[in-house]
Structure 1
Amino acid sequence: MLNCYRQLLEKMPAVLATVMQVQGSVPREVGAKMIITETEIFGTIGGGAGEAKVIQKARKVLQTGEKQWVEIDLTGALQRDTQGICGGIMRVWLERWESDRYLALTQQILTQLESGQSVSIVTPFAPHQSPYLSEDCLDEAFIEIIEPSPTLLIVGAGHCGIQLAKVADLIGFQVIVQDDRSEWANANLYPNAEVFNCPIADAVAQLATHTELYAALVTRGYQYDLAALQALLDRTLPCRYLGMIGSEKRVKQVFRAIEKAGISPEKLRSIYAPIGLDIGALTPEEIAVSISAELILVRRGGTGRSLSQSLRMIN
């Protein structure tokens, strides 16, 4: 969502398409967004014929400025003009964002999200009313609470860290990299991340108010794991995810040392170590995918099983 509003700030004038109502089985959730300009599309509300319909309508809204609803019928009913066979119906709101008022609103939204704060946006349906920030609303409107994007702190800027930063950025994490070696941790190697060359304790202190902090320890040595674990496990706000790379032998060795430092066994059990899902990953790129899959699992929920497993059991 953070990237969506960043793109919106750059692309205006543009139409913001927002899924506001769903019924039955549909490809995207309420709040999903897509940005449409004269020449570009950013994001998706599900693809296919339904999305094509929204794009076509949005280009007209871009010209006229008249807000409108678009219904996407995915029921597959023969007697209706359907755009798919998922089984449900989506209603999408189209609104042109272009004036100074919309520009200021977008900047407000970004400021709050980038500082780790949630934001409540009210989108009135009346023709001459614009969206605004508020927790209260007396109008006929869509009220949306947008949470800040989760932050992934990568501790260690080696080969795995470089690839993990790329994948984590793709799946919607704000990425921060900590390493004392500026030749490894720098903007050239991490163009989509914020880089901390300070000690790990100082980096963690700067993230003290982040409620959605994920941390991946991919360090170059045992002592760096210990320092990172002590700083992260002592946070007032627990990490949503804390994973550590390494063999089972290395993990057990680190756990014994950290337990001697006074960290409770309960906190140690919250650590994902060895890090990642078991997909047979060997290369830094594959390891990054394995870790990122586990990040999604923790963030979204799921089983980690193959989606085809139930069908294979039937057959």
Structure 2
Amino acid sequence: MTIAFFQKLAQFLNQGAATLATVVDITGSVPREIGAKILVNDRGEVFDTIGGGAGEAKVIRHALEVLKTGDSQFVEIDLSGAAHRQVQGVCGGMMRVWLARWQGEAAIALVRETIETLQAGKSLTLVTPYDSGTVPYLLDHPVQADRLLENAFVELLHPAPILLIIGAGHCGIQLAKVAQLLDFQVMVQDDRPDWANPVRYPNVARIFTESAQDVIAQLGHWSHLYAALVTRGFQYDIQALRALLALPMPCHYIGMIGSQKRVQRVLKAIELELHLARARSQSPIIYAPIGLDIGALTPAEIAVSIAAELVMVRRGGSGYPLSVI
């Protein structure tokens, strides 16, 4: 989950109680993954989604009951489409959702610690017991993956990935807008203050006007780093790529804008760095030219193309059309 989700939870808790509903098990085709969450407060306000439709409406109804009684419960969402059962959809699968009321100083302190840890770029483990009498808590050590236990749901929470946009031109402006919708922590680097400034980038996490090499060195400790090179010239690509390939922890994603000719020239210039990275058992994939082929021409369309590729890499998608017809 994102920092924004826990910030909203903190806001709700400062105003009263809230029900936190978490998808803890799924089978078959469903609209959301294990760990997806939704918040409902005692004024009936809802934040985020576990898939919408009749299934989510059912969870919201039960969440309001949990707020009144304090009794945690499981809610089953039947999306099988079976004619002989009362179903909430026809996706084909099932979702199991755990609903628990959060309230009071202990819950506020836990949420505050969660936010501070994620903002520091660290992962943490949240344990949600399936017992109304036991409050959620954080573990001192991480677990390997989200998993369903017999008496508790244990999930590893990661900080929002950083998207470092190198180059603050027209494509960078549009990419920042789209990436923020995708819950990336967006940072921008360009040595031109006339371009890299809060007027052009009003909502990004950081703006850097130092060299790309210096900025990359500062962010090298971050475990979820994505880099999009949308620079004004291939020499800037070469400088940035050399710094990215030298990081001790490889980037999750490196993408570079440019024509086939420009891309080949840059890759030729960094052959040694690529060889050294592979010798360190790091096999970086440089997505160049950047983005998925959707026929993009304008800066906004190019930003959508890049963002689609970012999601593909982050979620493990194929990039192929979903159409079955």
Instruction: Please confirm whether the aligned pair reaches a TM-score higher than 0.5, indicating the same fold.
Output: yes
* Partner Cα distance (1:7, 1:191) in 2: 21
Partner of 1:147: 158
Partner of 2:116: 111
* Partner Cα distance (1:157, 1:217) in 2: 10
Question: How big is the shift at 1:219?
Answer: 1.0
Q: Which runs of 4+ in 1 moved over 3 A?
A: 135-139, 264-269
3-state SS of 2:68 partner: helix
* Partner Cα distance (1:35, 1:182) in 2: 40
* Per-residue Cα deviation, 1:61-98 (whole angstroms, up to 9, x for no partner): 22333322211111222332211122222111112223
Aligned: 1:33 with 2:43? no
RMSD: 2.2
Residue 149 of structure 1 aligns with an amino acid whose one-letter code is: A
| Conserved 8 A contact 2:124-2:142 | no
3-state SS of 2:287 partner: coil
| Conserved 8 A contact 1:217-1:225 | yes
Aligned counterparts, 1:162-201, within 5 A: 162-193=173-204, 194-201=206-213
Q: 1:211 aligns with which of 223, 231, 238?
A: 223
Aligned residue pairs total 308
Query: Where do 5+ consecutive residues of structure 2 fail to align?
Result: 144-148, 278-282
Partner of 1:70: 75
* Partner Cα distance (1:109, 1:185) in 2: 31
Q: 2:259 aligns with which of 247, 258, 264?
A: 247
Residue 95 of structure 1 aligns with an amino acid whose one-letter code is: A
* Partner Cα distance (1:187, 1:4) in 2: 25
3-state SS of 1:6 partner: helix
Aligned: 1:86 with 2:86? no
Aligned: 1:232 with 2:233? no
* Per-residue Cα deviation, 1:18-42 (whole angstroms, up to 9, x for no partner): 0012223222111111112224322
| Conserved 8 A contact 2:142-2:156 | no
Percent identity between the aligned chains?
56
Partner of 1:15: 19
Partner of 1:293: 308
Residues 1:130 and 1:188: Cα distance change in structure 2 (over 3 Å): farther
* Partner Cα distance (1:180, 1:63) in 2: 56
* Per-residue Cα deviation, 1:128-165 (whole angstroms, up to 9, x for no partner): 21100015999921111122222111001111111111
* Partner Cα distance (2:85, 2:124) in 1: 38
TM-score of the pair, normalised by structure 1? 0.91
Residue 6 of structure 2 aligns with an amino acid whose one-letter code is: Y
**Greater alpha carbon shift after TM alignment, 47-56 vs 69-78:** 69-78
3-state SS of 1:129 partner: coil
* Partner Cα distance (1:160, 1:219) in 2: 9
* Partner Cα distance (1:47, 1:264) in 2: 45
